[in-house]
Structure 1
Amino acid sequence: MEKILLITLLVMVAVAHAHADNSIYDEMFMLEEFEDLHTSDEIEQELLEIPGWKSERGSKVLVNVDGFGAVGDGITDDTQAFLSAWNKSCSIPKSVFLVPERRRYLLKPAAFKGPCADKLIIQIDGTIVAPDDPKNWDPKNPRTWLHFSKLKGVSFQGAGVIDGSGGKWWDSSCKRNKSNPCREAPTALTIQSSSAVSVNGLNIQNSQQMHFVISNSDSVRVLNVKISAPESSPNTDGIHITKSTNVVIQDCKIGTGDDCISIVNGSSGIKMKNIYCGPGHGISIGSLGKDNSTGIVTKIVLDNAYFKETTNGLRIKTWQGGSGYVRAVRFENVRVENIANPIIIDQFYCDSPKSCKNQTSAVEISQIVYRNISGTTKSARAMKFACSDTVPCNKIVLGNINLEKDDGTVETYCNSATGFGYGYVHPSADCLQSSDKDMHSDQKEDIEIVQPFKDDHIHTEL
């Protein structure tokens, strides 16, 4: 019924725009295709398939890290005990790699490699903690802490905690203090080159840099995961997805000092549902195109999300000089509360201490749908489409948008962006209907050409 109603609305819009070019019809068919990117049924079915090791203990082989010499006092180095237990559990079908509850295990950087025997369960009920001083970190492992690779059909689960002890890392960051050198820092949990992996119920906190990275993987399910770090912690993305396909993130609560979820090059078929985001920088596609690189991201769906006091809501960010494309993205059923940039496309992203030079090439952004987005904004520019003059954004679709500012009016800013709206759209996005750049519109005024603010095309990390 919803699909029929949507198509009916779009036909009405097409008639209203009969004087325009044929692109409106392309957009209609594009939206119809988006209705096939479901997020609910298959996820709920997979939730029922997550194994429970306690109910099946008779058929499982329990491999407890304590049995391999782990002390669990938070002071003793338990790295080798974990690796020994891993080698054992990885080699036995239907085994459970157990990190017991009410214990605190100190681990240095560790690589847990597969492939493993069938149906391995990684049961984390206790706390795994990282060394708290960067000076004690192995320089051979500057970017990873707990690194899992080449896994297939493995389940991570439990109510345990992965704690990156990131405080001293944040203090030494150039983002926090410009006199510090900019350097690499570890990711707390990495899943790389893996498939058919589920992660359910874990708590990941205070990572040195990114909390959870999914890289070069396919068919990963992340469910009921909580990720937290202070708002002031730099570069502490919650979940970062790169070069991965068919990833589902559902029923997760994320609050950090950077993007709650970031999706970058080579990622496709990413579905997010029931996401709480805040504090942080919102949910971002990108950044893409840095150093004239190619970035490709397609088939992204966010359905049902709540953003509270984040700097951004729904963001797509690309550097000048890049190439590639972002297309087939749908953001829907989103509520925002007191955030700075509810809807933003930024093709002039520049997270650099120096200003970025103007370049003509850009990552193309098209077929982006925003539907049922409401709430409050801190910024007068509730929607901002800052796109490249040479590679404009196109086929931007807005449906049922209601964004308000408590102490003033709101507007939509457009630079080289085209598309259309249907249903109720506030602030008005009439500027999308023109290919003229540097335009804005609101509910009370006709479209008028304005000079852009001085910082329109000079952006640093928010």
Structure 2
Amino acid sequence: MSPKSVVLSVFILFLSFGLCFGFYIEDKYNETNYKYYTGPRRLMKQQHEHFMRRTRRSKGRVNVDDYGAIANDGRDDTEAFEKAWNEACSRGYILVVPEKCVYYLKPITFSGPCQPNTAFKVYGTIKAWPHMSAYEKDRRLWIMFDNVLNLVVDGGGIIDGNGWKWWQNSCKVNKSLPCKDAPTAVTFSQCNNLKVVNLNFKNAQQMHVRFQRCFNVTASNLVVTAPGNSPNTDGIHVTETQTMVISNSVIGTGDDCISIVSGSNNIRVTNVICGPGHGISIGSLGAGNSEAEVSDVVVNRAILKGTTNGVRIKTWQGGYGYAKNIKFMNIVMRNVTNPIIIDQNYCDQKEPCPEQESAVQLSNVVYQNIRGTSASEVAIKFECSKTVRCREIYLQDVILTPEDGGDTGTVAACENVVYANRGKLHPQCSFS
């Protein structure tokens, strides 16, 4: 074979690999390949080794032990973390929480603005102070990062909300108790160009991670866990945040795996496993007759297992505004109650909600390539507003069958909705 022929053959071989790879990444979601997208232990190990190498090379490190933190003794380390943060923030250094160490923190705020390159590396475990009296000043917060630009929070460690006592004192668990706020484990407020990657969040007092008024956020390679009966323990909550990617994460809690509420747009959720929990939700929206604005949300490649809802949009009566340009695609349901649901009569309170004419307008919502099994007979439920109908609802290649394999099949319950479908669809809406 001539040299020119050899070169041509090698070129064709590389071109073939490139084309194959291109087709692979564009191919429809395949559940059997999902483990290669998101294996939490494997991802954690790889990311941890990478970050440890980076941290060892860095000269600008601030170890919390050097500022008075004492690991594994059950004492309050809040003051030491505050001192370490002030040093890291003011100099653009990396705050390090060492591996195999457990530290207890009372409510704490890590405030900016900071010098560039400030980072927060959690290799060990941060655990919430167990005594509820420490939270009386503001029961809504435990750890907060406020107004820190270009922040990276990572490391492969654990942030543990220690929420058992809070759950026992929840009005949703003990109906005789008054309903009170409980802390969100970690809140990121006004943090632009933010990366939160390669972390474990567990047993939050209420929500696990909240992003509010942030811009350009990456949340990736996260494992978020709490018991399925833990009240209000949303995994990732997004509010008033624009341009965000949530990817390659495993979430199982007692409430929504992911909740996206008003003021949020351009949100991408991809390669996520959800369950137990209440599914992936847009909302709730419009509570207290408020205005809602959510747009340009894509949920692509997800598995939902044993959740009480699959992909859900929920709005209160009396609200106004819009939720539009939303796409759910390439999703597998396993034994999910209410796999596809729009609920515009949402009412999460003890007293019945009065009927009201105003409602959040839902439009241009796409459900594409959604398959699997339903734990309930009603696999598709569109309960839209009587006065503000859901419009431009599209379903394509949606097949939902009974989990028990029974002969009765699944049904769709549809009210006040204008929809179109193409490809395969089961069950289908029937209108009386």
The TM-score bracket by the shorter chain reads 0.7 to 0.9
**For residue 350 of structure 2, what is the amino acid of its counterpart?**
P
Match of 1:71 in 2: 70
The whole-number CA distance in structure 1 between the counterparts of 2:71 and 2:306 is 37
**1:74/1:129 contact within 8 Å kept:** no
- What secondary structure, in the 3-state scheme, does the structure 2 residue paired with 1:358 have? coil
**2:94/2:118 contact within 8 Å kept:** yes
**2:149/2:193 contact within 8 Å kept:** yes
Match of 1:187 in 2: 184
> What TM-score does the superposition give when structure 1 sets the normalisation length?
0.81
Q: CA deviation at 1:121?
A: 1.8
Match of 1:107 in 2: 105
Q: Spell out the pairing of 1:175-214 with structure 2 (5 A cutoff).
A: 175-214=172-211
Match of 1:418 in 2: 418
Matched, 1:300 2:300: no
Counterpart of 1:156 (choices 145, 153, 159) is 153
**For residue 414 of structure 2, what is the amino acid of its counterpart?**
C
Q: 1:223 to 1:74 in 2, by over 3 A?
A: farther
- What secondary structure, in the 3-state scheme, does the structure 2 residue paired with 1:86 have? helix
**2:76/2:129 contact within 8 Å kept:** no
Q: CA deviation at 1:60?
A: 3.6
Name whichever of 278-287 and 119-128 sits farther off: 119-128
- What secondary structure, in the 3-state scheme, does the structure 2 residue paired with 1:338 have? strand
Q: Spell out the pairing of 1:51-62 with structure 2 (5 A cutoff).
A: 52=51, 54-55=53-54, 57-62=56-61
The whole-number CA distance in structure 2 between the counterparts of 1:415 and 1:168 is 42
The whole-number CA distance in structure 2 between the counterparts of 1:52 and 1:169 is 33
Q: 1:299 to 1:369 in 2, by over 3 A?
A: same
After superposition, give the CA deviation of every residue in 1:103-123 in whole Å (9 maximum; x if it has no partner): 100000001001111111211
Match of 2:129 in 1: 131
**1:53/1:96 contact within 8 Å kept:** no
Q: 1:425 to 1:123 in 2, by over 3 A?
A: same
After superposition, give the CA deviation of every residue in 1:191-214 in whole Å (9 maximum; x if it has no partner): 001100101110000000000000
Q: Spell out the pairing of 1:198-347 with structure 2 (5 A cutoff).
A: 198-347=195-344
> What TM-score does the superposition give when structure 2 sets the normalisation length?
0.87
| Number of residue pairs aligned between Structure 1 and Structure 2 | 384
**For residue 390 of structure 2, what is the amino acid of its counterpart?**
C
Q: CA deviation at 1:96?
A: 1.0
Match of 1:33 in 2: none
**1:53/1:60 contact within 8 Å kept:** no
**For residue 198 of structure 1, what is the amino acid of its counterpart?**
K
Q: 1:59 to 1:103 in 2, by over 3 A?
A: closer
**For residue 71 of structure 2, what is the amino acid of its counterpart?**
G
**For residue 375 of structure 2, what is the amino acid of its counterpart?**
K
The whole-number CA distance in structure 2 between the counterparts of 1:322 and 1:307 is 29
Matched, 1:403 2:403: no
Match of 1:166 in 2: 163
The whole-number CA distance in structure 1 between the counterparts of 2:377 and 2:57 is 61
Match of 2:6 in 1: none
**For residue 293 of structure 2, what is the amino acid of its counterpart?**
I
Q: Percent same amino acid among aligned pairs?
A: 45
After superposition, give the CA deviation of every residue in 1:342-366 in whole Å (9 maximum; x if it has no partner): 0000000000111110000000001
Matched, 1:83 2:101: no
Counterpart of 2:360 (choices 360, 363, 378) is 363
The whole-number CA distance in structure 1 between the counterparts of 2:232 and 2:414 is 29
Counterpart of 1:140 (choices 129, 137, 143) is 137
Q: CA deviation at 1:59?
A: 4.4
Unpaired segments ≥5 residues, structure 1: 1-39, 41-46, 432-438, 440-448, 450-462
- What secondary structure, in the 3-state scheme, does the structure 2 residue paired with 1:201 have? strand
The whole-number CA distance in structure 2 between the counterparts of 1:58 and 1:399 is 51
After superposition, give the CA deviation of every residue in 1:149-188 in whole Å (9 maximum; x if it has no partner): 1011111111110001100100000001110110000000
Q: CA deviation at 1:74?
A: 4.6
